[in-house]
Amino acid sequence: MLIEQEQYNPDVLSCIANLSSDEVFTPPEVANQMLDLLPDDLWRDKTATFLDPGCKSGVFLREIAKRLDAGLEPQIPDRQTRLNHIFKKQLFAIAITELTGLVARRSVYCSKTANGEYSVCDDFEDPDGNIRFERIEHTWNSNGRCDYCGASKEGYERDEALETHAYELLHTENPAEIFNMKFDVIIGNPPYQLSDGGYGRSASPIYHRFVQQAKKLKPKYLSMVIPARWYSGGKGLNSFREEMLGDAQIRTLVDHENSADIFPGVDIAGGICYFLWCKDDPGKCDVINFDKDEEVRQKRDLNEFPVFIRNSKAVSVIKKVNSFKENNEKKLSYFVSSRKPFGLPTNYKPKKKGVPCWFTQKTGLQFADPDDITDKNKIADRWKVLIPPAPIAGQTDFSKPVTFYYRGNTRIAKPGEYCSESWLVAGSFKTKTEALNFRSYLFTKIVRFLLLQTVVSQHVTREKFIFVPYLSSYKTPFTDDVLRKRWGINDEEWSFIDSKIRNVDENG
């Protein structure tokens, strides 16, 4: 007797390859998790309209169509009449490229053309249906950048054989004119960044522009899946961070510290999040953080701190530390130097003679021309603690423990010694003892944990130290036991801190 085996029949949209790490196809299960955030009565509303403004595979429209097909059956019993209504009157999209437009029409209409013989909707005359793609050209300014998206002219001024990546939603002052209609729900997974013509592989984020343009359309609901790097601002994102944190209409924020949790095989530094914005329902936000297999959930005001604290377990620690009365009023972010603390860029070449200067970790202590050096902070004659600006280079998954600083990647610079841009000056002191004790403070897990709350990439600038107190005295060495007693860190809080920061020996 033959036993019939269940065959594995995967969803084709689960198997499709991504265009790049910046243009990621959304898995159907993720699309449905986002749709689950919307009110159930939408699926029974035959007047509700939906827009995907950065359409790639068409997965959002396809999954919405399934829900509407079931929800509208009592109102529109005839299946073909119901499908015609859904696809023609309710579902709309703007494809990001000509190719994704073709892919989306095939997955949504089951036909490469909306008016084809095998299309699920037999009421379209236009082959594109409601999934439009218009080739848009960038608008270059005198600096060689696009006025609308910031793309570099060098990288994106192309002939008609290549995609311009000038996304239609972004390249207009009035996005409402694209369809000349109002949408109840805007949902999607926009492109994440574009080359900006900077040094090396420099790129600027653009996903925030999709969010801002979508809000101009005044939908009832807005949901997008985007990189989580906006939590602490950074390149082009500071004003967007302030806007998002101050927006009480964001009612749900789902945070994944590891991007591979929702985009298998895709590594996006700092993780991924998606949110639900509700036009008529402001209030506290339901923050859901996924750290490995653990879900942490809490109702919070997003603007409680200057940056977003992704894991609610960290909030109690930050509050305890920063409410301690004996701390210096100023945080360490006030004292850490900015880039090029002595005016010397990373590519500055060592000289055969001059003043002693620390270059890269590999090059070590060499010489610099004193005429090339500036000392605007007046710290040259002090003992200085030098730290690398990218202490976790290569780590993008912050669900794994991080290291930051240890003896092997830090330096103590004597009075009269300088450094290039390869280092930041974390602190300067009158004595070597104070400098060493300050460094022991940086090495504690608690301080590195406070720093972690603001870090979403390998670069650690002075602004990231906003939660680290600058202590009033560094006369004695510091350990985690000393700081736990000082700040009242309990066993549960310490267990969480300990799980997020790696154990390292003196050399890392």
Cβ–Cβ contacts within 10 Å for residue 353, how many?
A: 7
Structure tokens at 243: 């806007």
What is the C-alpha separation between 338 and 358, in angstroms, rounded?
Answer: 16
In 242-267, which positions are buried (b, 16+ CB within 10 angstroms) versus exposed (e)?
eebbebebbbbbbbbbbbbbbbeeee
According to the model, what pLDDT value does residue 196 have?
67
Q: Quick one: DSSP state of residue 342?
A: T
So where are the chain's domains?
12-311, 317-500
Residue 238 amino acid letter: N
| Local structure of 93: helix, strand or coil | strand
- Segments of the chain with pLDDT less than 70: 1-23, 196-202, 328, 505-508
- In angstroms, the Cα distances linking 178 to 87, 93, 104, 215, 238 are 18, 11, 19, 14, 28
**The dihedral of CA 11, 98, 21, 212: what is its sign?**
negative
> Is 12-311 a CATH 3.40.50.150 domain?
yes
According to the model, what pLDDT value does residue 1 have?
37
- The partner residues of 229 in beta bridges, in order of sequence, read none
Structure tokens at 448: 């590195």
What is the C-alpha separation between 367 and 351, in angstroms, rounded?
Answer: 5
According to the model, what pLDDT value does residue 110 have?
94
According to the model, what pLDDT value does residue 349 have?
95
According to the model, what pLDDT value does residue 204 have?
85
What is the C-alpha separation between 349 and 366, in angstroms, rounded?
Answer: 10
Structure tokens at 26: 């959304």
- Rounded to a whole number of angstroms, the distance between the first and last alpha carbons of the chain is 62
Cβ–Cβ contacts within 10 Å for residue 387, how many?
A: 20
According to the model, what pLDDT value does residue 22 have?
52
According to the model, what pLDDT value does residue 414 have?
97
Are residues 191 and 21 in contact, defined by beta-carbon separation less than 8 angstroms?
Answer: no
Does the predicted model carry a pTM greater than 0.75? yes
Q: Determine the length of the chain.
A: 508
Q: How far is CA 44 from the centre of its chain?
A: 34
